[in-house]
Amino acid sequence: MRDRHGEFEWHAAKVTRIETARVAVTPRDVKDLLNLYDVRDNEYRELLIGLARAGRERAWWSEYRDIVPVGPFIRLEAEASALRNWEPTVVPGLLQTEAYTRAISS
């Protein structure tokens, strides 16, 4: 594949896999794609390159892979900005007092 700023050795299938999120991208891949697509806005370029760097960092749960299976819920939790809980018959655990817990346990 060739762009107007130079050459990089990619098969067209690699671009397709990146564009369809089948593979992760490196910051270098992002730079090459930004050149290919002729993106000139430096602030936007740096934002996208920064996202590629952040996406390659290990998440907090990585060190617990041996005891907690990393499924979609853990990944979703890391991205969550709010938590909603509906308990129609009991007060949620974090809000329970010691006396309440004793009363519902008896």
> pLDDT tens for residues 54-91?
888 877 777 777 777 766 677 677 778 888 878 788 88
Whether 21 and 44 have beta carbons less than 8 Å apart is answered as no
Q: Is residue 11 part of a domain?
A: yes
Cβ–Cβ under 8 Å, residues 1 and 11: yes
Q: Domain for residue 24, yes or no?
A: yes
* Residue 75 belongs to some domain of the structure: no
64 in any annotated domain: no
Position 100 in a domain:
no
For the chain, what is the domain count?
Answer: 1
| Pair 22, 14: CB distance under 8 Å | no
Overall pTM surpassing 0.95 (yes/no): no
pLDDT of 43 reads 96
Domain extent for 45: 2-57
Q: Is residue 106 part of a domain?
A: no
- Tell me: pLDDT of 93 over 80: yes
Taking residue 83's Cβ as centre, other Cβ atoms within 10 Å add up to 7
pLDDT in tens, 34-55: 988 899 999 999 999 999 998 8
**DSSP structure class, residue 74:** H
